[in-house]
């Protein structure tokens, strides 16, 4: 059974700092969706190099091979897990644009 959880903004930086080291090299797909643009893929199965939240500039950066995907003014972050496996992350920005980061292989998270 999959579970979707909302991360509080105060947890974004430490969460992304922690999982970013575990995610390095994993293949990710990034899908961007809104009423204005529909659903589009920004990346399809690129090796990930990192995910960070910069509170000073209020942005989440997803860095993959050949792509730096910046999400400015993120409003909400959701993570989808199945047991201890991270399946995807969804970031909704201030304009209501949903950006889903999916992992080709689930990431097994260490116990809290």
What pLDDT does residue 112 have? 58
Residues 99/91, Cβ–Cβ less than 8 Å: yes
Residue 110: closest CA among 27, 20, 48, 19: 19
Per-residue pLDDT at 109 exceeds 80: no
Domains of the chain: 2-105 (2.30.29)
Query: Has this prediction a pTM greater than 0.85?
Result: yes
Least-confidence region, from 5-14, 70-79, 95-104: 95-104
- Res. 37: pLDDT tops 70: yes
């Amino acid at each position: 059974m999959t579970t979707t959880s909302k991360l509080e903004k105060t947890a974004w930086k430490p969460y992304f700092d922690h999982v970013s080291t575990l995610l390095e090299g994993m293949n990710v797909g990034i899908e961007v969706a809104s009423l204005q643009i529909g659903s589009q893929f920004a990346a399809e199965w690129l090796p990930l190099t990192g995910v960070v939240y910069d509170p000073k500039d209020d942005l989440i950066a997803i860095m993959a091979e050949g792509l730096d995907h910046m999400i400015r003014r993120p409003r909400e972050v959701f993570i989808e897990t199945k047991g201890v496996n991270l399946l995807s992350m969804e970031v909704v920005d201030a304009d209501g644009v949903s950006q889903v980061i999916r992992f080709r292989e689930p990431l097994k998270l260490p116990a809290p």
